[in-house]
Amino acid sequence: MKTRKIIVPRSIIKKHLPHPEFYGESIVELANGMATDVYTDLDGSLFTETNNEDLIHYLLANQMMDYPTLITADYLLLKSISLEDAKQIHEWFLISPFRRAQSVENEINIVYEYISHAKTINSDVLVINIKDIPTGLIGYSIIDNIGIINYEVYNHSVITVNEAVQSLELIKNHLLLGFNLHRLILHVFEYDYFIHAILEQSSFRKNEKTVISIPTLSGSMQQVEYVYEVENI
């Protein structure tokens, strides 16, 4: 069969895996167990080029719109990231001690890939908006029965601790409704006092036994673990 370029909807992607070739972007595992390499198109969509007849038939039969996740409460809005957020996310990453330490040439392209890879069956990254003002990012990945959450606040002048706690509870409830989870885990860098303050007022509890060391180009950074245990499993 002739090689075809076909869009790969995020709603049928289970997870992204590293590409074995230096020029590759990502290998994805699909909902039916098949795998293929994908690349980010100019409009932010993911595509594959393949002559695999079974894969082509599966992808053509499952073409669908990738709708963003929207979670709202009062004047809080959590919305899946899109290419419209690329400039803002790029600016945020430049001021993040952890993200900046990972920066490389053409880092805007890394932001594009970060956005296009964010949403799958088991993951998403959402912009936290307070009264229509973007303030940070909250993302998650589901591995088996565990939800791993990442919370980053950049516009501290807009969001209060109470509003941040509310946004964390919104994503927690969203995950508990959508997945069969045993626990939620959130890792926080030791320097991020604001996130620690949020978690101290939330339903998450600090795991005193776990400290994680994250390697960077200039050494390492320490993370603390917070856990929410799901009752009545």
106 pLDDT tier (thresholds 50, 70, 90): low
For the chain, the straight-line distance linking the first and the last C-alpha, in angstroms and rounded, comes to 48
- The label of the residue with tokens 């952890």 reads 98
Distance CA 134, CA 85 (A): 9
Answer whether 163's CB lies under 8 Å from 132's CB.
no
Torsion angle of alpha carbons 193, 166, 97, 154, nearest 10°?
-120
The alpha-helical segments, DSSP class H, found in the chain are 53-61, 86-95, 97-101, 107-118, 161-178, 193-200
Ordered structural domains, the chain, with CATH: 4-61 (no CATH), 70-229 (3.40.630.30)
Mapped onto helix, strand or coil, the DSSP state of residue 52 is coil
> In terms of pLDDT, which residue wins out, 99 or 14?
14
Angle between helices 161-178 and 193-200 (to 10 degrees): 70
Distance CA 13, CA 30 (A): 5
| Lowest mean pLDDT, pick from 68-72, 105-109, 202-206 | 105-109
| Average pLDDT over all residues of the chain | 91
194 pLDDT tier (thresholds 50, 70, 90): very high
According to DSSP, the residues that pair with 186 across neighbouring strands are: 149, 226
Answer whether 113's CB lies under 8 Å from 147's CB.
no
The pLDDT score that the predictor gives to residue 101 is 47
pLDDT above 80 for 100: no
Q: What is the mean pLDDT of residues 73-102?
A: 86
Distance CA 211, CA 67 (A): 37
- The label of the residue with tokens 């890879």 reads 117
pLDDT of 111-120, one tens digit each? 999 999 999 9
Answer whether 30's CB lies under 8 Å from 11's CB.
no
pLDDT of 47-63, one tens digit each? 999 999 999 999 999 99
Q: What is the mean pLDDT of residues 179-185?
A: 96
pLDDT of 149-172, one tens digit each? 999 999 999 999 999 999 999 999
103 pLDDT tier (thresholds 50, 70, 90): low
pLDDT above 80 for 80: yes
Distance CA 221, CA 205 (A): 21
Q: What is the mean pLDDT of residues 202-218?
A: 83
Distance CA 188, CA 209 (A): 14
The pLDDT score that the predictor gives to residue 108 is 80
The pLDDT score that the predictor gives to residue 173 is 96
The pTM (predicted TM-score) of the whole model is 0.91
pLDDT above 80 for 215: no
pLDDT above 60 for 102: no
